[in-house]
Amino acid sequence: MGYFVRPETRTLKLPEGETIVVRRRLTAGEQRAMYARMYVAGIDGRLRVNSLETGMATVTAFLLDWSLADDDGAQVPIAGLPPEELAPILDSLDPDTFGDIRRAIDAHAEAEEAARAEEKKLRAPASV
């Protein structure tokens, strides 16, 4: 297990047959930026999770590209867009489609986290 995140991707299939390309893992900086988009400062100055933004923050952190097309059949380009430009495009999706994307990304992130946890257990030195 290395100290640096390789820029690997995964292609995930959505229920309607479309595909999305996502980051396999987030770097520390990408994860920090995702969290920054999830939290807001309260009246008392304390940070709190904005539950309305957690899905968007996660999707914009992981999503790199997709096969989705507009009503005329033209693919909607998103590759290389920063989160602030990607979010308005995602906001224009049908809520069910956004939900499908979010669930696919959440499942992917959970599976990657479980695999890393298992790898850490296997590499841990045996106690004597």
Q: Give the model confidence (pLDDT) of 21-75 as tens digits.
A: 999 999 999 999 999 999 988 889 888 898 889 999 999 999 999 999 999 999 9
* Contact of 59 with 26, CB cutoff 8 Å: no
Which tokens is 97 given?
A: 């489609």
Distance CA 123, CA 121 (A): 5
- Predicted confidence at residue 127, as pLDDT, reads 64
| Residue 56 burial (C-beta neighbours within 10 Å; 0-12, 13-18, 19+) | buried
- The values of phi and psi at residue 13, to 5°, are -95, 135
Confidence of residue 85 (pLDDT cuts 50, 70, 90): very high
Distance CA 35, CA 26 (A): 12
